Amino acid sequence: MTPDWLTEEIMYLLPKSQETKNPKNYRPITCLTTMYKLLTSIINERIHSFLEQNLILPQEQKGCKRNSYGCKDQLLINKVILENCQKSKRNLSTAWIDHSKAFDSVSHEWILTNLQLYKISPTISNFLQSIMPKWKTRLFLSHNNGTCRSDFSSYQARNFPRRLSLSSSLLYGPYTSFK
């Protein structure tokens, strides 16, 4: 049984500018318990090790691999290929996909489905499945007239972003590798 305090987070919505009427002008800062962060870091480490040992992460995936600079690596590879094509006077077509705000749109069901697809330990899958419905957030909104505070609310049904610290390959599944 998971204690409620473990799955509660506080999100501060801090204004980016003086114009506080537009919701886009706020930056969310989420505070989680140290125990929760430690626990999900251990889970992430085990999942990541499993994915690496079983060669599940595609070679092209750079965003969540250790000892990789993510986009920087991909940009350098792209630059070398482009320069090579220019020198040899070859045509080249490239495409980049921007997954902007992608982590905010991954459903909890999809995360659990990917845990099964990748054959991640049932102990980890069952634990995550048991805590997801317990996730609760309290919002603090700072604005020109002061601060407002909400009660703890569950945002499970709306796929409200929750910091799981899981590998992006796990979140997006096997369909992010194009071969």
In whole angstroms, give the CA distance from residue 172 to residue 167.
9
Per-residue pLDDT of the chain (179 residues; tens, 9 = 90+): 788 899 888 989 888 888 888 888 888 888 989 999 899 889 988 988 898 899 887 777 766 677 777 778 778 888 999 999 999 999 988 777 666 666 566 778 888 898 999 999 999 999 989 988 888 888 888 777 778 888 877 755 444 445 555 555 455 444 444 33
In whole angstroms, give the CA distance from residue 55 to residue 59.
9
In whole angstroms, give the CA distance from residue 7 to residue 3.
7
Burial of 124 (0-12, 13-18, 19+ CB in 10 A): middle
In whole angstroms, give the CA distance from residue 129 to residue 108.
9
